[in-house]
Amino acid sequence: MMLPLGKPDPMLDLVLEREIDVPVEWVWQAWTDPESIKHWFVPKPWTVTECEVDLRVGGGFRSVMRSPEGQEFPNLGCYLEIVPMKRLIFTDTLLPGFRPAPKPFFTAGLFLEPNGKGTRYTAIAVHGDAASRKTHEDMGFYDGWSTVVDQMVAHIKATH
């Protein structure tokens, strides 16, 4: 598969592909509305306590994830490319306004394609080195990102 980020490199990139039974428009809304994101963006029992979306190239994405033990983990990033209903590319290597981040980890791409009444959903996490990729995989990329897709679909169905 060729994506706008280039062909995935199995040594550096993690890819999740799913067919989901909700329309692209609803998936896009779930990914771009801060109140919606709070409901599904982390695997339960984790929660998102804060979320801000400045949906423009160079705009920021900010969320605060809270563990079941109450620890909070802020996440900051920058949108690199926005093609409504098709593609959303963001990174934590840059902060809003393209300011360099102190601890870059990955760049992500979300790719949406209509598939009948549903969506072909592809998420890719691009890493700068094999160690970062392995760290992300060991953190539970496949289970975690798959779980949040399921939570997102459930949230979409509950709200539409």
Looking at the whole model, is its pTM more than 0.85? yes
**pLDDT tens digit sequence for 83-114:** 999 999 999 999 999 999 988 899 999 999 99
pLDDT band at residue 1, thresholds of 50, 70 and 90?
very low
* pLDDT at 104 (0 to 100): 87
Q: Tokens for 135?
A: 């760290």
Give Cα separations from 90 to 56, 117, 132 (angstroms). 10, 27, 17
Q: Which domains does the chain have, with CATH numbers?
A: 18-159 (3.30.530.20)
